């Protein structure tokens, strides 16, 4: 089972869990398993069309999945999926 590292902004939806073990053979399946177990994460991660929101970055073992096979990137039992929301704003 891959492990998903949950950022602080999503932890209220996961009952405070910083890491969640999920089933899934791909990054997309793992993220959808997270959503199935913790439905409150759905709007933060996915658009209404089911695509990953553009401001959400996802890494598999420190590698950005966008340079791999996206949500179709294979994920094994010992893999770690990291969700990293993009930061915006700043000082004027």
Q: What is the model's pLDDT at position 10?
A: 94
Q: What is the model's pLDDT at position 80?
A: 97
CA distance 31 to 45: 8
pTM (two decimals): 0.90
pLDDT, one tens digit per residue, over 1-31 is 899 999 999 999 999 999 999 999 999 999 9
- Candidate CATH numbers 3.30.428.10, 3.40.50.360, 3.40.50.300, 3.10.20.30; the one for domain 3-85: 3.10.20.30
pLDDT, one tens digit per residue, over 41-92 is 999 999 999 888 989 999 999 999 999 999 999 999 999 999 998 866 556 6
Q: Could you tell me how far CA 36 lies from the centroid of its own chain?
A: 13
The pLDDT of 32-49, averaged and rounded, is: 94
């Amino acid at each position: 089972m891959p492990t998903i590292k949950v950022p602080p902004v999503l932890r209220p939806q996961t009952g405070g869990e910083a890491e969640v073990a999920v089933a899934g053979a791909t990054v997309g399946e793992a993220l959808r398993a997270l959503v199935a177990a913790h439905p409150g994460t759905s709007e933060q991660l996915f658009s209404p069309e089911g695509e990953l929101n553009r401001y959400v970055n996802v890494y598999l073992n420190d590698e950005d999945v966008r340079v791999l096979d996206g949500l179709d990137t294979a994920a094994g039992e010992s893999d770690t999926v990291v969700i990293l929301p993009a930061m915006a704003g700043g000082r004027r």
